[in-house]
Structure 1
Amino acid sequence: MSNVPGSSDAMSIPEALGRAHAHWNAGQADQAEQLCQRVLAAWPSQAEALHLLGLMAHAYGNLDLAISHLREACRAPRAPAVYSSNLAEMYRQKGLLAEGEEAARRAVAMDPALASGWNNLGIVLQEVGKFAESLECLERAIALQPDSPQAHNNLANTSRRLGRMDRAEQHYHQALALNPAYAEAHSNLAFLRSTQGRYDEAAASAQRAIELSPRLVDAYLNLAEVESSRHRHDAALRVLDMLAAFAPQHPAALVARAKALRQLERLDEALAFVRQAVTLAPKSAEAHNTLATVLQSLGQTDEALAHFEQAALLPGAVAEEALVGRATLLMEAGRRDDALAAFDRVLGVFPGSVQALAGRADARTFRAGDADIAALEACVAEGERRSLTDRISAHFALGKAYLDIQDPERAFHHLDTGNRQKRSTFTYDAAATCQWMERVAEAFTPELYPRLPAAGEPSALPVFILGMPRSGTTLIEQIVSSHPQVTGAGELSALRLVVEGSGLFPARVPGMTGDEAAHLGREYLSRVTPLAGGRARLVDKMPGNFLYAGLIPLMLPGARIIHARRDPVDTCLSCYTKLFSGEQRFTYDQTELGTFYRHYERLMAHWREVLPPECLIEVDYEAVVDNLEDEARRLVDFMGLPWDDACLNFHDNRRVVRTASVNQVRQPIYKTSKGRWQAYAGYLGPLLAALGIDAHDVQHRA
C-alpha cells in the first residue's frame, strides 16, 4: 500500500485518512486539510480525502469548492452512497435542485437502507414542489431512523406544504422532544404558527431559534414574516437589519426586505432589493414572484406577468401563489377571459386551490350546486389543518357564493366567521381612532383658510376622490379617467405619506405657515406628477384621504376634491362582505364599522363647513346610477375640462384597476346595488345599532 509523502514517519493512506478524520472531529481543520492534501499527492482523486475536503469546504461556507470536491469523490468506482447523498444536499443549498434530485436518487438506489439519503432526497423533492413524493421519502427515513430529529423536522415541513398542519405540528414537537435545542425546528414551528394566526407563539419560537443559533438565517426570515403578518412592517425591517449584519447578500433576506418595503409603499427601494435578489439567485422562484408583485404595484403589468410566469415554471414552492398572482393581475388589467382561463390553469395544477377559487369568486355569479362551493366548503371543514389565510379567503368567497344563490343565512354564517378570523389577526382601537378624527376636526378652524389664502403650491393637476371604501369611488374614477385628458392613478398613499412625514398633522396645523403649506404641496406633486403621463388631470382615489381633506386646499390651491357618497348601510354592508387586500381595519366587525362610519360622517360635515366651496363637490352613488350622463357632465365640468362622450362608456376603459371593485367597473351601470341591504337587515343588527338605525323601522323605509 502507498505511503503518504511529506512526513518523517511512514504513514499508510488509511492511517493518514484516519488521522485526518480525528483532527477534523477535534476541530483541528488545518491539520486535517494538510493530511488530505498529502493523501491526494500520493493518490490523486482519492475519494475519501476529496469527500472530507468537501465537508470542510462546506463547513467554512465555500459551497462551490465543496461541490467540486464531492463531485470528484462520487466519480470513484466504489464511492459509497453517502457521498452522493451529501453532494445532493450541497446542490440543494446552492439552488441547483435538478442536480440535487439526481444525486439524491442515485444515493438511495445505491443503498436503500441509507436514512440520510432518503432524508436528503425528501428535502430536495420538497423544494422542487413534489410534496407527495417528498412525504414518502421522509417517512422511509423515519422508519429507518426513528430517533432522527432532522427527519421529523423535514417530514413536518413537507406536511405543512401539503396543508396537513396538524401532522406538521406533531412532527415539529417530536423533533424538539428528541432535541430541545434544535434551532431549525423552533424556527419552522414559528412559521407554522404564523400561518395559523398564532403570532405571539410564532414570535416566541423564532426568537428561541435565534437565541440557540444566532446565525440561523431562516429564524430571522420567519420572525420578519410574523411581524409582517401583524402588519408591523417597520418591525420586520428591523429584524432584517439584524440579519443583514452577517448575511448582507442573502437572496431570501433581500426578497423579504422587498416585501416589507412594498407593504410600506416604498416601491422604488423594494424594486432595487428584489432585482438584486434575482441577479444573485436567477433560479429562485420566490425572487421572481416577489419581483412580479413589486412591478404590479408600480403598474408595470407586462413585465410583472412575465415574472409571475417565470416563478410558476421554476422549481420551488411558490408556483400556486405565482399562478394566482398572474390571474389576479389579468383581472385587474380588464382581461377577464384571460384571467378566468388563468384561474382554471391554477386549478388544473393545484386542484382545490383556495386562493384560485376565492380569486375568481368576484368575477362570476354562483349557481346552486356549483362545484366551487363544494371545494370551498371542503377547505373550511378541514379547520386548523389549513392555513388561516386559506380559511379566511374561503369564508369570504362562500359568503359571496351564498348571497349569489340567495341563501343569506349560510352567507352570513361564513361572512361573520371570516370577519371574526380576520379581525383576530391585528389590533385596532376603535375609540382611539374616533378620538383622533375629532382632534383632526378641531385643528381645522374656519379662520385657518383666510389666514393662508393660496399659500400652497398652485396646481390644477390633482383630483382627489375620497370617502368610505365601497362608496362608489372606483366607479367615479373610472368615469372621469375615461376622459382623454385625465389619468386615473388608483389608490395612492402619497398624500398620507407626505402629511404624516411632515410632523404637522393634526396638532401643529393651526400654526402652520405658508412656506410649510407650499412645501407639502411640492412634496405631493413630486410624487404624483410622473404618474400623470403628461395629461391635464391626475386622479388620486385613495378613499381614506377624507382624513386629510382639510389640508388639500392649503397645500394645493387649485386641486379638486370629489366626495363619493352612498347609502350608509349599503356602504357598510359592501365593506363587511369584502376581504380587502389593503388595511381597512375598521371593516371586520359590524359595531366597529358602524361606529367608524358615524365619525367619518361627522368629519365630512366639518369639511363641508370649513372648506372653500369651489374646491369640493359631492356625488351620490345612487344619483350616478339613476342619471349617469348628468352626473358625468357635472364631474367633467367641475374638473374644468371640455365634455367627452368617452366618459359614458367608462366600462370600455382598459386601464388597470387595483381595488375591490375591479369587476364591477368593467360593467355598464346596474341598479341592483341600490338599497341592497334591506333584504339582509335581519343579519345586520350590530351594524344598524351602531349607525343609529332602528331595525324595526326597516320595512317602512323599504
Structure 2
Amino acid sequence: MSSTPSSPGSMNIQEALSKAYAHWNAGQADQAEMLAQRVLAAWPGQPDALHLLGLMAHAYGNLDLAISHLRQACLAPRAPAVYSSNLAEMCRQKGLLAEGVEAAQRAVNMDPALVSGWNNLGILQQETGRFEESRQCLERVIALNPGWPEAHNNLGNTWRRLGRMDRAEACYRQALALNPSYPEAHSNLAYLLSSKGNFDDAAKHAREAIDLNPQLVDAYLNLAEVEISRQRADAALRALDMLNAFAPRHPAALVARAKALKHLDHNEEALEFARAAIALTPDNADAHQTVAQSLQDLGRTEDALRHYAQAAALPGISAETAMAGSALLLTEAGRRDEALAAFDAALERFPGSAVIMAARSDLRTYSANDPDIAAMEAWLVDGDHRPLPDRIGVHFALGKAYLDVGDSARAFAHFEAGSRQKRSTFDHDSAKTAATMQAICATITPERFARLSGLGEPSSMPVFIIGMPRSGTTLIEQIISSHPLVTGAGELSALRHAVDRMGEFPDWLVKLDDASASAALKRCGEDYLSRVKPLAQGRPHVVDKMPGNFVHAGLIPLVLPGARIIHARRDPVDTCLSCYTKLFGGLQPFSYDLTELGLFYREYERMMAHWRSVLPAERFLEVEYEAVVDDLEGEARRMIEFLGLQWDDACLSFHTNQRIVRTASVNQVRKPIYRTSKGRWQKHAAYLKPLLDVLEIEAP
C-alpha cells in the first residue's frame, strides 16, 4: 500500500508496516505489536496493521480479538483478498460458519487464483454439509497447487462425507506420498480405515499421527473411534484420557467420551459429558445427537426427540443419522404412523439414502419389485466404498426384505454377508465363553445356594425375564407389564453393573465366608435396587428383561431373595434363526456365525438345566413361547399368578400397551398374537446346516 498522510515517528506508514511484519515473521512479537499500534495511532482503521494484530491475537489464542481485528481490516476498500480468507478460517474455528462462508466467498471473488481462499471455502462448505460445493472448491485448490499435501487431505475429508471411501483413501494416501510425516493425513486415514473395518491398520495410523504430533486432538479422537468400533470402549476411554491431559474441555473429546460411556451402558454419565459439550458449543450437531441417544437409552422420549431435531437442523454431518434416529425412537414408542412420516421426511431430505431405507426395514413388509430393494442393491454395488456399519445394516435390511418376498437364497446370502462383516468388528471366543458359564455353574451348587439363601436384600420388586435373545422375552414382558401394578423397564444393565462392582465373578462369591456373606449379598442387592427403583414409576413391580441375565439366574435369589424369575423358552432352531437374521442394537457376539450360535445355545441349555436343579419353584417359572401363542390367556394367567397378583384383562391386550420397547422385537409386540413364527426354520433348513449340525437336529 502507498504511504499515508501521517507517519509514526521517523518512518512512514509503509516502512513501519514492513518492519512490523518483519519483526513478526522473525518471532519478535513485542516489536511487531508496538509498530502496528503506532500505525493505528497515526491512522485509525489502517487495514494492514489490523490484519497483523489479528494474526498475533490468533497466535496467542485470543480468537475473539483476532476476529474483531480482521473484521475491521476487511472493511477497508482495498483490503487484500487474503484478509477475507484469513477471517473465514478464524470464523470457522469459532463456529461462525455462515460468516466464514461469506468471507471466503468474498476472498475468491476478489482473487480467483487465491489458493488459501478456495481451500478455506472448501473446508467451510464441508462443515456446513454442502459437500458437492466443497468438492468443487478443493479440486480447484489441487488444480492450482497439485503438490500441496493439505489440499489432498482436505479433499479426502469431503469425499469421505460424500460416501466415496475409495476416493477419500486415495486423497489421504496422496497427501502422505507428498509428506509421509503429515500427522493430520495419518489421523484421517485412520478414521477412514476404521469405517471400512480395517481396525488394525486404522489404529496404526492413529498412533503414528500421535507420535508425529502428540497434541493433535483428532488423532486421539480417531483412535478412540477405532476402539469403539471394535467394541473396546475401555481402550477408547484410555485414548481419551491421554487427550484429557492437554485438552480437558475439548467439546469433541467430551462427545467421544460420552459415546464410549454409552457403549458401557453408563448412560447417565454419558449424558453429563454430552451436555457439557453442548454448553461449550451450543451448535454442535454431534453433541446434540449424542445427548438424544443417551436420553433415548434412559427412556426420556420427548427430550430425546427434541435433541434429535436440533441435531438435524444444525450444520454438519449428523442430519441424516439424526433424522433416522428420531424415526427409530418413534418406532420404539409405538408411534408407528409418526415413525413412518419421519422416515418419509428423512428420505425427502436425503433422497435414495440406503441408510434410512435400511433403518425403516422392520416397519415395512416388502413385496416383489419393491423400489427400496432395488435402491439398496444398487447402493451395495459400491459396497467396498461404503462405511462398514452402513453396509452391515443394508445387508440385514435386504435379508429381511427377501424373506418377506419368499426368496430364501438371496435373503441368506445377505444375512451371511452382513454377519461376516459384523463378526469382523469384535473378538469372540466360544471356548472361553463356555468355560466362564461352566465355572459359574460349578460355583453356585445346590449346597452353596442353600448355605447363602435368604441373606440378601429381600425386595419383591424385581421381576427378571431371562432366556436367549429372540425367545419371546419381549412378548412376556409386554403381557405382564400391561398389568397396572407392573412396570416394564426393558433390557437393563443394572444387574451386570452391580455384580461387577463386587469384583470378578464368580470369584468373589467363592470367597464369601459365614461372617461376610450377608453384608456382601445385601450390598449387591441394594446396588441393583438403587438403579432400578426410579424406573418402577411408583408401582410395586418392575420388569428387567435383559435376556443375558440367565447367566446370573443362580445369583439373583441370593442377592434379591424376594425377586421372581421367568425363563422364556422357544424352539431351539427358531430361536437361533431369529438371532441370526437380526442385526442387534447391542452386542450379541455369538449370533453372527451359525456354528458359534449353535455352540452358545448348547451352553445356554446346559446352564439352564443346572439352574433347574438349584432354583426354588416359587421363585422360578419357565414359559414356552409356543404355549403362549397357542393359549395366551392360560399362560398369561399363570404368569400373573406366579407374581402374586390379581388377574387383569389388560394383559390380554398387550399389543395396545404404548410403553417404550427397545428390543429387536419392537414391531412384533405391537401386534396381537400370531403363529407364523412357529417352526419357521424348517423352510430355511437348507441354509442352516452348520447350526443344525451343532444342535444335532435333522433337517426335515
Which category describes the TM-score, using the shorter chain as reference length? over 0.9
1:578 aligns with one of 559, 574, 582: 582
Correspondences of 1:159-558 after superposition (within 5 Å): 159-503=159-503, 505-512=505-512, 513-558=517-562
Give me the whole-angstrom Cα distance separating, in 2, the residues matched to 1:176 and 1:18: 36
Larger mean Cα displacement after TM superposition, 19-28 or 383-392:
19-28
Query: Once the two structures are aligned, what percentage of the paired residues are identical?
Result: 67
The number of residues matched between the two structures is: 694
8 A Cα contact 1:288 1:311, kept in partner: yes
User: How far apart are residue 331 of structure 1 and its match?
Assistant: 0.4
User: How far apart are residue 116 of structure 1 and its match?
Assistant: 1.2
User: How far apart are residue 449 of structure 1 and its match?
Assistant: 2.6
User: How far apart are residue 3 of structure 1 and its match?
Assistant: 8.8
Instruction: Give the 3 Å change call, closer, same or farther, for CA 621–330 of structure 1 in structure 2.
Output: same
SS where residue 27 of structure 1 aligns?
coil
Give me the whole-angstrom Cα distance separating, in 2, the residues matched to 1:677 and 1:82: 68
SS where residue 687 of structure 1 aligns?
helix
Give me the whole-angstrom Cα distance separating, in 2, the residues matched to 1:6 and 1:139: 44
Give me the whole-angstrom Cα distance separating, in 1, the residues matched to 2:656 and 2:623: 22
Give me the whole-angstrom Cα distance separating, in 2, the residues matched to 1:289 and 1:29: 42
SS where residue 147 of structure 1 aligns?
coil
1:560 aligns with one of 558, 564, 567: 564
User: How far apart are residue 27 of structure 1 and its match?
Assistant: 2.1
Larger mean Cα displacement after TM superposition, 462-471 or 350-359:
350-359
Amino acid at match of 2:73: A
- 1:675 aligns to 2:679 (yes or no): yes
SS where residue 526 of structure 1 aligns?
helix
8 A Cα contact 1:354 1:393, kept in partner: no
User: How far apart are residue 452 of structure 1 and its match?
Assistant: 2.2
SS where residue 363 of structure 2 aligns?
coil
User: How far apart are residue 108 of structure 1 and its match?
Assistant: 1.2
8 A Cα contact 1:4 1:16, kept in partner: no
Q: Show CA shifts across 1:479-517 (max 9, x none).
A: 000111000000000101111221152133244312211
Give me the whole-angstrom Cα distance separating, in 2, the residues matched to 1:593 and 1:186: 38
Alignment partner, residue 58 of structure 2: 58
2:602 aligns with one of 578, 598, 615: 598
8 A Cα contact 2:156 2:170, kept in partner: yes
Give me the whole-angstrom Cα distance separating, in 1, the residues matched to 2:504 and 2:436: 14
SS where residue 554 of structure 2 aligns?
helix
Q: Show CA shifts across 1:150-204 (max 9, x none).
A: 2111111110100111111111111112222221111111111110011111111
Give me the whole-angstrom Cα distance separating, in 2, the residues matched to 1:271 and 1:387: 26
2:645 aligns with one of 641, 646, 656: 641
Give me the whole-angstrom Cα distance separating, in 2, the residues matched to 1:16 and 1:655: 73
Give me the whole-angstrom Cα distance separating, in 2, the residues matched to 1:36 and 1:195: 48
Q: Show CA shifts across 1:544-577 (max 9, x none).
A: 0000010111111110000000000000000000
Alignment partner, residue 616 of structure 2: 612
8 A Cα contact 1:452 1:554, kept in partner: yes
Give me the whole-angstrom Cα distance separating, in 2, the residues matched to 1:631 and 1:41: 89
Give me the whole-angstrom Cα distance separating, in 2, the residues matched to 1:576 and 1:418: 10
Give me the whole-angstrom Cα distance separating, in 1, the residues matched to 2:101 and 2:460: 61
- 5+ residue gaps, structure 1: none
Alignment partner, residue 97 of structure 2: 97
Give me the whole-angstrom Cα distance separating, in 2, the residues matched to 1:304 and 1:381: 35
Give me the whole-angstrom Cα distance separating, in 2, the residues matched to 1:11 and 1:581: 71
Give me the whole-angstrom Cα distance separating, in 1, the residues matched to 2:538 and 2:32: 69
8 A Cα contact 1:285 1:315, kept in partner: yes
- 1:44 aligns to 2:48 (yes or no): no
8 A Cα contact 2:502 2:508, kept in partner: no
8 A Cα contact 1:4 1:11, kept in partner: no
8 A Cα contact 1:3 1:11, kept in partner: no
- 1:661 aligns to 2:665 (yes or no): yes
- 5+ residue gaps, structure 2: none
User: How far apart are residue 5 of structure 1 and its match?
Assistant: 6.7
User: How far apart are residue 237 of structure 1 and its match?
Assistant: 1.2
1:689 aligns with one of 662, 687, 693: 693
User: How far apart are residue 354 of structure 1 and its match?
Assistant: 2.3
- 1:631 aligns to 2:635 (yes or no): yes
CA RMSD of aligned residues (A): 1.2
Q: Show CA shifts across 1:352-372 (max 9, x none).
A: 222211111111110000011
Give me the whole-angstrom Cα distance separating, in 2, the residues matched to 1:455 and 1:493: 23
SS where residue 246 of structure 1 aligns?
coil
SS where residue 76 of structure 2 aligns?
coil
Alignment partner, residue 109 of structure 1: 109
Amino acid at match of 2:498: V
Give me the whole-angstrom Cα distance separating, in 2, the residues matched to 1:204 and 1:544: 34
Q: Show CA shifts across 1:504-536 (max 9, x none).
A: 521332443122111111111111011101101
Amino acid at match of 1:623: A
Larger mean Cα displacement after TM superposition, 399-408 or 236-245:
236-245
SS where residue 362 of structure 1 aligns?
helix
Give me the whole-angstrom Cα distance separating, in 2, the residues matched to 1:373 and 1:95: 40
Amino acid at match of 2:295: L
User: How far apart are residue 289 of structure 1 and its match?
Assistant: 0.9
User: How far apart are residue 13 of structure 1 and its match?
Assistant: 2.0
Give me the whole-angstrom Cα distance separating, in 1, the residues matched to 2:355 and 2:437: 36
Q: Show CA shifts across 1:559-606 (max 9, x none).
A: 000000000000000000011110100000000000000000000000
TM-score by length of 2: 0.98
User: How far apart are residue 94 of structure 1 and its match?
Assistant: 0.8
8 A Cα contact 2:8 2:39, kept in partner: no
Give me the whole-angstrom Cα distance separating, in 2, the residues matched to 1:508 and 1:279: 42
Give me the whole-angstrom Cα distance separating, in 2, the residues matched to 1:399 and 1:54: 58
Correspondences of 1:63-102 after superposition (within 5 Å): 63-102=63-102
User: How far apart are residue 30 of structure 1 and its match?
Assistant: 2.2
Alignment partner, residue 146 of structure 2: 146
